[in-house]
Amino acid sequence: MSDFSEPSAIQNAPKNNQLGFFGRLWQGFLTTVGTERFFKIFSSWVKWLLGIAFVLLTTGTVWGLLFAPPDYLQGNSYRIIFIHVPMASLAMSVYLAMAVLGVIFLVWKIKTANIVAQAVAPMGFIACVLSLITGSIWGKPTWGTYWVWDARLTSMLILAFLYAGVMALFSAFEHSQNRGRAAAILSIVGAVNLPIIKYSVEWWNTLHQGATFTVTNAPKMPASMWVPLLIMILGVYFLVAGLTIYRTNSLILQREHNKAWVAKWLNGQK
């Protein structure tokens, strides 16, 4: 399978002066997506991303749990929103990213995209499960029950099964030349569930409340509530970004342990 980190993959590409702006941009992108280049470029990002995530998550947690005012209807029980909403948002975003990575892998045969998808899938699954658990806990005092077959809850449960299927396929094809191809296809097909999750509260009568944040409307809560929530959302995205790079690089070293650049890098670490 082709790898754009190899010089032979780009040596016949058109010269930069023969390309337009987008052509040069694409060629520049191709020089960063090979496994070796990805590893060397993004390895140093991990500590910074995780450091920013730590600051944001600490700030958001302390602010949301200790200093944000209680809700006038739900009291303090609403505070689970500071975990539930970031997890739900992350679960959907990660699956969308997996679908995009699947397209890149299948169309352009960039294997790094497939490795990134394999690295991020478990984190998306964990976020999806946590969103279901925290939603159920929140639902008990709000709806009087832990679970209803609500359109939003049901579609999120389907998303969890899709994640599980993608991870199973990555494991099943671990030693195959078709490694990840089936996982990429399932990621793309399963993406049809994302707009159902997003718009389920508008398309059907559901118990689940509408979106807390929208692009066109003001937040439905005071700044003392939505600001720490936004900080928590940003924090989990930075956390997953750092962990994704770390896991991707670990998978790259595992897959390409017999290549010269890996041996050279490992010797340099000793």
253, containing H or E segment: helix 223-255
- Distance between CA 219 and CA 84 in Å, rounded? 17
Convert the pLDDT of each residue in 21-67 to its tens digit: 777 776 766 666 789 989 999 999 999 999 999 999 999 999 999 99
Convert the pLDDT of each residue in 161-190 to its tens digit: 999 999 999 998 766 767 789 999 999 999
What three-state secondary structure class fits 74?
Answer: coil
Assess if residue 34 is contained within a domain. Answer: no
Torsion angle in degrees (nearest 10) through CA of 219, 155, 103, 239: 50
Residue 100: give its domain's CATH number: 1.20.120
Measure Cα distances from 132 to 129, 144, 158, 174 in Å. 5, 16, 11, 29
Assess if residue 28 is contained within a domain. Answer: no
49's CB contacts (< 8 A; 6+ apart) are 238, 239, 241, 242, 245
Residue with tokens 């994302």: 194
Predicted structure pTM score: 0.86
Convert the pLDDT of each residue in 103-132 to its tens digit: 999 998 888 999 999 999 999 999 999 999
Q: Report residue 71: phi and psi, to 5°.
A: -75, 145
* Cβ neighbour number for residue 34 with a 10 Å cutoff: 23
Assess if residue 247 is contained within a domain. Answer: yes
Structural domain count of the chain: 1
Cβ distance 95 to 187 under 8 Å? yes
pLDDT for the residue numbered 13: 47
Assess if residue 234 is contained within a domain. Answer: yes
Domain boundaries, position 173: 47-258
